[in-house]
Amino acid sequence: MNPEKRLMNSKKLTIVICSFGYHVSGIPHDPSGHGGGYVFDCRGLPNPGRDPQFLKRTGEDKEVQDYLGRLPEVAVFLDHVEALIRISAESYTMRGFERLMVSFGCTGGQHRSVFCAVQVAARLRSAGYAVELKHLDMPRFV
């Protein structure tokens, strides 16, 4: 059976995607008791937070998305992350699991982790997965 079709015919898997800051809340706890799934460290990617124009922005803002979205190393990172998640998600779906937790961390939980979480959530949703997106440490600017 086609993997995309299996997604629609099986027990519903929800992929919970979190962004967080290593220096704020730390790696998120998985309340399901299954152990936390994937944790991807975004600190190896270029940091928009070092540029004054992005200080009051987050990974949900167009300016930050444009900056990170045009960097080849970010695209490669996202492609690899998505591939890994999809391998587990397909296996989890076939085995009847209902939850897969995926976390993205960066220094403060504002730029890189938020951007990566948003991008991967969109990719997985477009592939037919149910996704919950949570930003644990993203500041709210007024």
What is the 3 state secondary structure string of 52-79? HHHCCCCCCCHHHHHHHHCCHHHHHHHH
In this predicted structure, what is the pLDDT of residue 9? 45
Q: How far is CA 50 from CA 74, 88, 106, 111, in A?
A: 16, 34, 13, 10
Q: For residues 100 and 81, what is the distance between their CA atoms, to the nearest angstrom?
A: 14
Structure tokens belonging to residue 106 = 């960066």
Structure tokens belonging to residue 53 = 């124009």
Q: For residues 114 and 21, what is the distance between their CA atoms, to the nearest angstrom?
A: 10
**Has residue 35 got a pLDDT over 70?**
yes
Q: For residues 102 and 138, what is the distance between their CA atoms, to the nearest angstrom?
A: 17
Q: Domain boundaries in the chain?
A: 3-135
Where residue 14 falls (left for φ over 0; alpha for ψ -120 to 50; beta otherwise) is beta
**Has residue 70 got a pLDDT over 60?**
yes
Q: pTM of the predicted model, to two decimals?
A: 0.89
75-107 pLDDT per residue, tens: 999 999 999 999 999 999 999 999 999 999 999
**pLDDT tier, 125 (very low <50, low <70, confident <90, very high otherwise):** very high
In this predicted structure, what is the pLDDT of residue 31? 83
In this predicted structure, what is the pLDDT of residue 10? 47
The least confident of 9-18, 46-55, 64-73 is 9-18
Where residue 132 falls (left for φ over 0; alpha for ψ -120 to 50; beta otherwise) is beta
In this predicted structure, what is the pLDDT of residue 11? 63
